[in-house]
Structure 1
Amino acid sequence: MSSEAPIYLDHNATTPVLPEVLEAMLPYFSEHFGNPSSQHPYGRRARGAVDAAREEVAALVEASADEIVFTSGGTEANNLALFGAMRARPYRHHVVTSVVEHPAIREPLGWLERQATTVDWLAVDASGRVRASDAERVVSDKTLMVSVMHANNETGSVQPIEELSAIAHRTGALSHTDAAQSLGKVPVSVTSLGVDLLSIAGHKLYAPKGVGALFVRRGCLISPVALGASHERGLRPGTENVASIVGLGRACAIAKRDLDTERKRLSALAQRLWGRLAAAVPGLALNGPSLDDPQRLPNTLSVRFPKVLGTDVLEGASEVAASTGSACHQGEVHAPQGIVALGISVEEALGTVRLSLGRLNDEASVDRAADALARSYAAVARVPS
């Protein structure tokens, strides 16, 4: 990274396509252009590439290849999980979720609420986690699903999915988790988590945008939400996006290969960034779990600057590319929902900046970012409110 390039600290919003991923994809834009459903050599080559990628995605989450359904991304995977389960089991009309879900879950569930589905929105504690006991109180034989994200995009809190799955299964309900933020950062095993459905977003783990997957446990009944053909076990019609699927597969293989080393590296960088920034900004606070909490993403720092707007701090630190909350909601100054849910006041939450590290970062870039943010804060804080 050159000294003039902005320091990218927004890996929870999206990630760059790794060179190795792009290299694997390129032939499927040109000479290997076949339709995977065709029976001639061009089609068979494309089908082989899709099958190989399915194996790579399955290996990352410790699933079987026939349990992976390719989609256009995490949002579609979430919609297929929710609406597909609802269509298959319309007699169950209750869903349990959390107040800190991504809009890709929150908005579909809001729509279902307007169609007479009952939704219980579980509160979170100061670390950003739901209490399994709260879920246990509301799950019943009418519950279709417990759907709680594996790791929060704003605070990095990792949820107790294993416990939630066990609670769901006691009444015959399904367990779903959106693992978009956790894949490639912490171990994700569908067996350990006990989930029936798990959503994957390619662009969060160095694959291209516009591709994702849904893990559907063998024997878990869901119905398609779009019609047109029998692709992807009949659950997702349409000719497969071969090049992007190949990219997703390669990215998952890299994530599996590098998980332990990258997890340790990112954790050390986050500690370094926090230490340098906290030393320079009196009163700086960390939102969500502490840095020594094992149930957190190693790359995510949600920091709260005192008595200023986080947007102003970022505006004054033009050499840092970061965000003040969900990347899906830029353009407005508003308190991040996931931060207010921790019990932090709206006024204080407006001082939040999310710093999410990744493969583009090293010690030098982290130090530069901390210094730039500290300088900007000092300048902004001197302005009368």
Structure 2
Amino acid sequence: MSVYLDHAASSPMRGDIITVFSELGALVGNPASLHRPGQRARGVLEEAREELAAAVGAHPTEVIFTSGGSEADSIAVLGGWARRRDDGRARCLVTAVEHPAVLGAVEWGAEAIPVTADGVADVAAAAEAIDEHVGLVSVMAVNNETGIVQPVDRIRELAARVGAWTHSDAVQALGHLPVDFAASGLDMMSLSAHKIGGPVGVGALLARREVVPRATGLGGGQERQVRSGTVPVVLAAAFARAATLAVDSLELEAQRLRGLSRRIGGAAVAAGGRLNSRDDGAPHIVNVTFDGIRADDLLFLLDQRGVHASVGSACRAGVHQPSDVLLAMGRTPDEATQSLRFSVGWSTTEADVDELCRVLPEALAQARAAF
């Protein structure tokens, strides 16, 4: 039996999305071309833009298709920050638990907003740091390792008071929590397809029409002069359909996933683990610290038994180092290397969780013996 519990890294494509691929796979034409095949492709692309916009509470002109969430983050943070420097606003703030595509801006001179021991961005520290010299603030909607929901609204209000732009990485929120770009008041938001049963290789940056980050690459500027490259029409259409399906089933699916996550958390605690996630967090992510093991050992032993989880962010896969997110939460280096992430999704069943509960104690015992 194979049990896939790494949906936060990448979720299997839904059957309906595979159908979209089959129906559109033979589509010919560059959507920037003027001939009829190109215009047919343009029509499909713009329909996808409209469908995605409707699913996430945006206007179609606010949808900038990208290669994924990481590129959307990079354009928003680096491109947005560069544009705001033109206004004399040289500072950029990001929370200390952001995805590497955002947190990496610290190496470029951005400043990190600390988080509490619960993994929540420190609003008081943000209030002290945000001033009229800040051009951009980025705070994720849901942490990709712990599932903890961040105080986006409160930090956005602080930024708005001084005229700073606010960006949110909502990759882990889409399909699990309500996402409404217009209602959020945000200036920019990043999304990705393959976390919700869509294809790998496509995402979107939502940017209000008056918000124009500087392009971070060269080319034809196909997407609002912000992102260059021929837009993959079939991927965009599949992304839009996946978003529609995820949003339409959100309420019932979130309830189902939360039930599965609670079962996983209960089994982990019964086996001696400590939860780094919160019950009021996103419904699909459970992060657990197990004392007396190496996370890589337990991950391998579970994998041998057909249960596939993660040591944290997929972007850290293969890099043996403590989790930056858990370190920012005040965990010790040992604790940050003894933690696993289990994440559920549309294909996860009760039987999958039954199997995890069955094999976890045995795998833990073997991991502790090897420690």
TM interval, short-chain normalised: over 0.9
Q: Which residue of 1 aligns with 2:301?
A: 316
1:14 to 7, 10, 13: 10
Match runs of 1:72-111 below 5 Å = 72-90=67-85, 91-107=88-104, 109-111=105-107
Q: Which residue of 1 aligns with 2:326?
A: 339
Match runs of 1:87-166 below 5 Å = 87-90=82-85, 91-107=88-104, 109-113=105-109, 119-166=110-157
Letter in 1 for 2:275: L
> In the alignment, is the contact (CA less than 8 A) between 2:269 and 2:275 conserved in 1?
no
Is 1:300 the counterpart of 2:285? The answer is: yes
Letter in 2 for 1:146: V
Q: Which deviations, in whole Å up to 9, do the C-alpha atoms of 1:336-380 show, x marking residues without a partner?
A: 111122222221232211000112211111110122122100222
- Give the CA deviation at 1:332: 3.7
Mapped to 2, the partners of 1:120 and 1:79 lie a distance apart of 16
Higher deviation after alignment, 317-326 or 332-341: 332-341
1:287 to 276, 280, 299: 276
> In the alignment, is the contact (CA less than 8 A) between 1:323 and 1:354 conserved in 2?
yes
> In the alignment, is the contact (CA less than 8 A) between 1:99 and 1:123 conserved in 2?
yes
Q: Which residue of 1 aligns with 2:33?
A: 38
> In the alignment, is the contact (CA less than 8 A) between 1:302 and 1:354 conserved in 2?
yes
Mapped to 1, the partners of 2:322 and 2:183 lie a distance apart of 34
Q: Which residue of 2 aligns with 1:116?
A: none
Mapped to 2, the partners of 1:316 and 1:186 lie a distance apart of 32
- Give the CA deviation at 1:230: 4.0
Match runs of 1:172-211 below 5 Å = 172-211=163-202
> In the alignment, is the contact (CA less than 8 A) between 2:273 and 2:288 conserved in 1?
yes
- What secondary structure is seen at the aligned counterpart in 2 of 1:89? helix
Q: Which deviations, in whole Å up to 9, do the C-alpha atoms of 1:203-260 show, x marking residues without a partner?
A: 1121111111100012113222223224222222222111111111111111111111
Is 1:352 the counterpart of 2:333? The answer is: no
Mapped to 1, the partners of 2:231 and 2:316 lie a distance apart of 30
- What secondary structure is seen at the aligned counterpart in 1 of 2:136? strand
Mapped to 1, the partners of 2:174 and 2:135 lie a distance apart of 25
- Give the CA deviation at 1:83: 2.5
Is 1:60 the counterpart of 2:60? The answer is: no
Mapped to 1, the partners of 2:214 and 2:113 lie a distance apart of 27
Mapped to 2, the partners of 1:261 and 1:288 lie a distance apart of 21
Mapped to 2, the partners of 1:345 and 1:87 lie a distance apart of 35
Letter in 1 for 2:226: L
User: Residue 61 and residue 19 in structure 1: after superposition, are their counterparts in 2 closer, same or farther (change >3 A)?
Assistant: same
- What secondary structure is seen at the aligned counterpart in 2 of 1:353? strand
| TM-score where L is the length of structure 1 | 0.91
- What secondary structure is seen at the aligned counterpart in 1 of 2:249? helix
Letter in 1 for 2:277: G
- Give the CA deviation at 1:146: 0.7
> In the alignment, is the contact (CA less than 8 A) between 1:196 and 1:216 conserved in 2?
yes
Q: Which residue of 2 aligns with 1:330?
A: 317
- Give the CA deviation at 1:177: 0.6
User: Residue 231 and residue 325 in structure 1: after superposition, are their counterparts in 2 closer, same or farther (change >3 A)?
Assistant: same
1:69 to 64, 68, 72: 64
1:233 to 224, 246, 249: 224
Mapped to 1, the partners of 2:145 and 2:219 lie a distance apart of 37
- What secondary structure is seen at the aligned counterpart in 1 of 2:93? strand
Mapped to 2, the partners of 1:246 and 1:101 lie a distance apart of 28
> In the alignment, is the contact (CA less than 8 A) between 1:147 and 1:177 conserved in 2?
yes
Is 1:265 the counterpart of 2:251? The answer is: no
Mapped to 1, the partners of 2:144 and 2:326 lie a distance apart of 11
- Give the CA deviation at 1:33: 1.4
- Give the CA deviation at 1:111: 4.1
Mapped to 2, the partners of 1:240 and 1:170 lie a distance apart of 36
User: Residue 277 and residue 367 in structure 1: after superposition, are their counterparts in 2 closer, same or farther (change >3 A)?
Assistant: farther
Higher deviation after alignment, 37-46 or 164-173: 37-46
Mapped to 1, the partners of 2:179 and 2:156 lie a distance apart of 14
- What secondary structure is seen at the aligned counterpart in 1 of 2:224? helix
Structure 1 gap segments, 5+ residues each:
114-118
Letter in 2 for 1:181: Q
Mapped to 2, the partners of 1:313 and 1:126 lie a distance apart of 25
User: Residue 368 and residue 143 in structure 1: after superposition, are their counterparts in 2 closer, same or farther (change >3 A)?
Assistant: same
- Identity over aligned pairs, percent: 36
Mapped to 1, the partners of 2:274 and 2:253 lie a distance apart of 26
- What secondary structure is seen at the aligned counterpart in 2 of 1:69? strand
